[in-house]
Amino acid sequence: MSSNTAAIQVTEFTQALALSWKALAVYPTGHPALIRALDLVDRRLGELRGPAGEVSLGVGKDGLIYGDLKIDSAAARKFGEALFSRGVAIIHFSRETSARDVEQLLRLLTGGPSKQKIPLWEELTAAGAMTINLQPVSYAAVRLTDTLEQRLPAEREGTLWDEILRALLEGQQFSEPGEVPSKVGTVDELTRIINEFISGPRTTFDPDATFGVGLAPVDQHALHDLLSVTVGRYISNVWGMKRQNSLQQAIQLIQNLAPPLRDIILRALVEALGSDEQAGMLMRELASELPEDEVLDALRYLSSVTSLSSHSMSLLEVLTRSQEAKRASPPSPAIIADLVRVFGDDDISRFNPDDHAALLAAAAVHIPQIPAEALGAIEKLGARADTMDQPEMVRQFAATLLAILADVGPSRAPRAVLNRIETIFRSLVSAGHFENAGELTQQLHQIAEQTASESLRRETREAIGRLVTPETIHDLIENLQGSAPEQRAAIERLTESLGMNLRRNVLMALAEENHRARRRRLFDFVVSLGKEIVPEAVNFLGDSRWYVVRNMLVLLRILGDRQSLPAVTRLTNHPDLRVKFEAIKCLFALGGQLPGKLLDDLINDPDPKLADNAIALIGSYGITEGVDPLLRLLDGNDVTGARRSLRLKALRALGELKQPHVLEHLRRFFTHSFLPWPSREERLAAWQSLQNYPPESRAELVQHGLRSRNPQVRGICERLGRS
């Protein structure tokens, strides 16, 4: 979607919101004008969703933000100001958001802030609107500093997954330290580690056992307790964006685990958030990401053993009402008895004319009476019973429709048959029958290739393109994670049969997705499609959004496609530094040729801001080819101090690159001199950068620093000696 199209769609959506907002103040509930206004909001939201299925908008006092776009129309300013005054920073419409949920939000905004100072997201929970998530303004990342020149180093703390892994190691859940990595990169790695431990006992040496090998029993209850305590304690002790990210990691972990461990960790997560009065928004996000019945069971259990916060009790009531509404209550026995009496006492055909009675007699169907001895158990049918289940009946119906479609000539429109086939395909995918869905798609391709009718060929190919919907992509991603090898193979065959249509729509969904966790899962799915995705990914390299181009470059680098090197090389001149450096990193990874002295030119750019960013990105992106240009920047002495800021950043960037041989070139920064250069700040920055180098390469310098007359240097080296 181009930026102009996105701006138009967001503007139309906010205009529809303003129209509905005005209608709410004029018309009562159920009025046709109000219904039409809300239906318009629903249509505009559906158009804005696109393949991603979800929409996130940033909230400002003077408008709304969508990606890199600032929408400051009159309607957007009014809506943004109303949300901003209620402490909302981001509003997220999920794929299930309905017109009723939008109506509830607008009614709450119409009434203004409540007298009890209840947050807007908690009022939404009480109203039963669970598909609209509101993220409040957070000041957790704000830090106090006494200068604007020096910035505090970014925190480099572990993730929730690393905390769980650390707890397992400290609890001696693994017999050998080398059995597991020191850090966990994905939730799949952590899930594999946990499942491997649960799946069987550990081997230990036992002199009394056969061959000296004994089996240590797995205490699964202890493991369950350890994991639940670790997750609950970690979520309770982090704040701000780190708490938000940790919640997403915990949700991903729960989605990948099987009962009973899944339920135990969910209870620990609900307990950590349910007792915190400030965690209302996070509880709403948890309830929207996981099945309602599981969250409801966890809340019911915790409400019986501990006291919950007010927002958790409201959520418990809303989920209880929702589950009760979904349960279909059987008809009353009294009503059934009345119907039996009415139709039993009265002959409904007694008023039929003679010709009607004759017609009914002629058209009557005789139902034979089957003897009781002929009725046997279903097991007696043997293999024939499989032809009577629902998937087989759907498959046979699809085969019939395909046969009809193949016989359709140019005189008959195939649209009705194709619509039914599309419905069957979506039902197969949602039910997890990916093998049958793949066969159906392949047969559609065969019909399109073999038919002599040009109109049938065109409409069949258009129907194949319509098979790829946001729901289809969501079902494929959900079932691909943690699936059995057979199911994974069926999904891969289905993606191959969907071909270019799937690849294009998945990349569009990736470009539009604003939610970090879902974008990560989408990206992993795109990688699983293999190098066939490369031509479509190259088409996105001209997108106006820097993060879309950056993501496509990361994808090309992971897939290792050298055919895209010319397009990647052109991006080394991109105006956005983040894209420029990702292109440089991609070139190095793919074995491409870097244009001239590009890194030297960036580091020595006349614009000091551009040079600062270039040096910082070399370190953060891990571009080891930048070592020599950085060392050349540090050559000589900065007598006037004009380049001191750049030289300090260069020393820090070299530390982030962690190349041991660099220390030999920096010896003069670690030795005492009566001359005023290298400057005191540069020497101190060099000592501080030692923490990133391997311990064995810095050992000599650390010992030298312990004897320094500078107390700051001694303090740095003492800390390094203890680590």
Contacts of 140 (CB under 8 A, 6+ apart): 239, 240, 241, 242, 243
CB 49 within 8 A of CB 95: yes
| CA angle 37–40–43, rounded 5-degree value | 155
Task: Return the CATH fold of 596-722.
Answer: Leucine-rich Repeat Variant (1.25.10)
pLDDT score for 209: 46
**Is the confidence at residue 14, as pLDDT, over 80?**
yes
If one compares 558 and 203, the residue with the highest pLDDT of the two is: 558
Give the per-residue pLDDT at 698.
92
pLDDT confidence of residue 390: 62
Query: Given this model, what pLDDT does residue 127 score?
Result: 76
CA dihedral 261, 267, 273, 277 (to 10 degrees): 180
- Amino acid code (one letter) for 114: S
pLDDT at 152: 38
Residue 162 contacts residue 231 (beta carbons within 8 Å): no
In this prediction, residue 380 carries a pLDDT of 57
Whether the predicted pLDDT of 471 surpasses 60: yes
* pLDDT over 80 at 389, yes or no: no
Torsion of CA 507, 512, 518, 519, to 10 degrees: 60
Residues 517-576 have pLDDT tens digits of 777 777 777 777 777 788 888 888 888 888 888 888 888 888 887 888 888 888 888 888
**Mean pLDDT, rounded, for 95-123:** 75
> What pairs with residue 203 in β-bridges?
215
> Tens digits of per-residue pLDDT, 333-377?
777 777 777 666 655 555 566 766 676 666 655 666 666 655 555
Which amino acid is located at 497 in the chain?
S
Banded model confidence at residue 214, pLDDT cuts 50, 70, 90: very low
Predicted confidence at residue 148, as pLDDT, reads 47
**Per-residue burial over 575-590, b = 16 or more CB atoms within 10 Å of its CB, e = otherwise:** eebbbbbbbbbbbeeb
Cα distance between residue 285 and residue 247, in whole Å: 9
Q: Are 464 and 498 in contact (CB under 8 A)?
A: yes
> Which is more confidently placed, 634 or 334?
634
pLDDT confidence of 18, banded at 50, 70, 90?
Answer: confident
Task: Please tell me the distance from the alpha carbon of residue 253 to that of residue 165, in angstroms, as a whole number.
Answer: 13
pLDDT-derived band at 384 (thresholds 50, 70, 90) equals low
pLDDT in tens, 48-103: 876 666 788 888 878 888 877 888 888 888 888 888 888 788 888 887 788 888 88
Q: Provide the Cα torsion 567, 572, 577, 583; round to 10°.
A: 60
Give me the residue spans of the domains in the chain: 3-136, 160-325, 388-588, 596-722
What's the pLDDT score for residue 594? 65
What is the residue whose two structure tokens read 């999920």? 94
User: What mean pLDDT comes out for the span 17-41?
Assistant: 83
Residue pLDDT, tens place only, 685-706: 999 999 989 999 999 999 999 9
- Nearest-angstrom CA–CA distance, 438 and 461: 15
Asked if residue 639 has pLDDT above 70, the reply is: yes
Task: Answer yes or no: is pLDDT of 176 > 50.
Answer: no
> Rounded to whole angstroms, how far apart are CA atoms 439 and 420?
16
CA distance 530 to 700: 47
Strand order in the sheet with 69-71: 69-71, 63-66, 55-60, 88-93, 132-136
Of 103, 97, 107, 130, the C-alpha closest to 311 is: 130
Q: 165: burial class by Cβ within 10 Å (0-12, 13-18, 19+)?
A: buried
- C-beta of residue 690 within 8 angstroms of C-beta of residue 716: yes
Predicted local distance difference test score (pLDDT) of residue 156: 39
DSSP labels for 582-647? HHHHHHHHHTPPP-TTHHHHHHT-SSHHHHHHHHHHHHHTT-GGGHHHHHHHHSS--SS-TTHHHH
Contact 272, 265 (CB under 8 A): no
Per-position DSSP letters for 51-63, written without gaps between them = GG--EEEEEETTE
Answer yes or no: same fold for 388-588 and 596-722: yes
Question: What is the C-alpha to C-alpha distance for residues 685 and 419, in angstroms, rounded to an integer?
Answer: 67
Output 336 or 209, whichever has higher pLDDT.
336
Query: What's the pLDDT at 397?
Result: 79
Asked whether the bond before 353 is cis by omega within 30 degrees of 0, the reply is no
Residues 222-262 pLDDT 10s: 767 777 777 777 777 777 667 777 777 778 778 777 777 77
**Bigger pLDDT: 255 vs 388:** 255
Helical spans, DSSP H, in 467-515: 470-480, 485-498, 500-512
Cα torsion 578, 583, 589, 593: sign: negative
Residue 371: per-residue pLDDT? 63
Report the 3 state secondary structure along 125-137.
HHHCCCCEEEEEC
| Model confidence at 211: pLDDT above 50 | no
3-state SS class at 369: coil
Q: Does residue 403 carry a pLDDT above 60?
A: yes
Give the fold, CATH level 3, of 388-588.
Leucine-rich Repeat Variant (1.25.10)
